[in-house]
Amino acid sequence: MTEEPKSMADTPIDSDTPLDETVQVEMESEIEVNTHAEHVRNQATRLFDKTQSLHELGADSRCVLELAALIYNVPFPPGKKKPINAARKLIQAQVYEEPLSSEQQAVLASVLALQHGQINRKAIQRLDLSPIQQREALTLAALLRIAIGLDQSGGQQTFIEQVELARSELWIVISGPDVEVDAAAAQHNARLWSKIGYPDVKILLPAEAKARLMPFPEPQESMGVESGDSFAEAGRKVMRYHFAEMLQNEYGTRLGEDIEALHDMRVATRRLRAAFDVFDTAFERQEMKRHRAGLRTTGQTLGHVRDLDVMIEKAQHYRDNLPEDQRAGLDPLFEYWQSERESARKQMLAFLDSREYQEFKREFNVFVNTPGSGVRPVSDNPPEPRLVSEIAPILVFTRLAAVRAYGAVLVQLAAYPGTVAGRKAAGCPCSSDLSGEPPSRERAAHRLVPGRLG
């Protein structure tokens, strides 16, 4: 057996002196494994495995993390002026089943020094570690800290149930009798993970996870509104229908190969906003305000690109009908519009990737899939209308009266469904006859009154 260095405490902090790769250090004390350390190790390695696609570390790094979890709470040897040497001394005071390479020992020493507060994140750069090793040490230290937080209660009964990588967050779902205490500690300890460039961590309790991980709605052939539905739940069905249409076109909008995908996605947001107007009184004001803000921003962001698509398309048709020798005169205009469109599209993609948009989708998805959520209480004394059959006739004929009041202008209004009357009719639960396109106001009223209201 190769003899270990005589005095690691005398080794400079940035020393190039290697630790013998073949040595299995045999000191007088073995790793003292307790239930807390075992629990931390199990949660840390589970996190390591579930986040491997992010950090791309291998089996050697996983071994280092296991050892760090088992000995992180062993008292740190004195030697604040040379914390890495003190960490190495702690490492050598253990007996391992397999020998550690010099690289593993160097990374492990850095992880322990970080965990004991002997060095900070920025001090890693001054150690005798390669950039890859620096990244490895910080990553393992970050995972260890989260795992330690998951047993803040000391009960070893909080477990990781699921790890999901969202677009901009890492969701860690935990369960157990002490989840509230342990979740708060793990969330606090997750700051290092975010600071070194990984997605922000969100520690989720089971109930919250169920809501956040709820599947998005699939497009349906009809909205499924019935005359016996409460007005609020009818509104929820209408919103879920158009929300599914919006989500269905998001991929094509991102891809950008067919401008109709963006058009359809924007139309869905406009119909959602119309539905908000129609069913506004059925829900709590703050609930609607929160979702309306996200929807408005989404529609505006899509609209910037869509408006340019329309202008470019119409101008293209105009240019195609010009004599050949006159078409080049419009080239500067097209170049300018294309430049503006590319800029607007970059902003749109950035928004679709943003946490703001992801949060809007998740929260709105929970709302449209949770019956009773956000519903405004309806008084029974005196009784108030609450069913579709009681409220829809009033809405339909109110809209019909408003449209007919325009008289000769009605034809012009029909040509522009984006007007207030057109938008609100498009959002009415009965106006599309569950086919996706708003019929005339007269047909909508005719369909509602005789057959659908009982």
- Give the pLDDT confidence of 293-352 residue by residue, as tens digits: 999 999 999 999 999 999 999 999 999 999 988 888 889 999 999 999 999 999 999 999
* Other Cβ atoms within 10 Å of 64 Cβ, number: 26
Report d(CA 390, CA 384) in Å as an integer.
9
Amino acid at 326: Q
Q: Among all chains, which residue has been given the structure tokens 């599209």?
A: 345
Are 102 and 19 contacting, i.e. CB atoms less than 8 angstroms apart? yes
- Per-residue pLDDT at 403: 77
Question: With a threshold of 0.95, does the pTM exceed it?
Answer: no
Digit-by-digit pLDDT tens for the chain (454 residues) are 333 333 333 333 333 333 333 223 333 334 445 899 999 999 999 999 999 999 999 999 999 999 999 988 888 766 557 778 778 877 877 766 677 888 888 899 889 988 888 888 888 888 888 999 999 999 999 999 999 999 999 999 999 999 988 767 899 999 999 999 999 999 999 999 999 999 999 999 988 888 777 889 999 999 999 999 999 999 999 999 999 999 999 999 999 888 999 999 999 999 999 999 999 989 998 888 989 999 999 999 999 999 999 999 999 999 999 998 888 888 999 999 999 999 999 999 999 998 889 889 988 999 999 899 889 988 777 888 889 999 989 888 888 888 778 776 656 656 665 544 444 444 444 444 433 344 444 444 344 333 333 3
Total number of domains in the chain: 3
What strands lie across the sheet with 200-204, from one edge to the other? 159-165, 169-175, 200-204
- Give the pLDDT confidence of 148-157 residue by residue, as tens digits: 999 999 999 9
Residues 251 and 360 in one domain: yes
Residues 71 and 131 in one domain: yes
Report d(CA 301, CA 349) in Å as an integer.
9
Q: Is residue 47 part of a domain?
A: yes
Are 183 and 205 contacting, i.e. CB atoms less than 8 angstroms apart? yes
Residues 259 and 333 in one domain: yes
Residues 395 and 445 in one domain: yes
* Structural domain containing residue 44: 8-155
Q: What SS3 class is residue 72?
A: coil
Residues 303 and 252 in one domain: yes
For residue 351, which of 272, 242, 277, 269 has the smallest C-alpha distance? Answer: 269
Where is the domain boundary, 128, 155, 182? 155
Are 194 and 143 contacting, i.e. CB atoms less than 8 angstroms apart? no
For residue 391, which of 378, 374, 372 has the smallest C-alpha distance? Answer: 378
Q: Is residue 35 part of a domain?
A: yes
Q: Is residue 297 part of a domain?
A: yes
Tell me the residue ranges of DSSP E strands in 241-375. none
Pairing of strands 159-165, 169-175: antiparallel
Q: Is residue 1 part of a domain?
A: no
Q: Is residue 376 part of a domain?
A: no
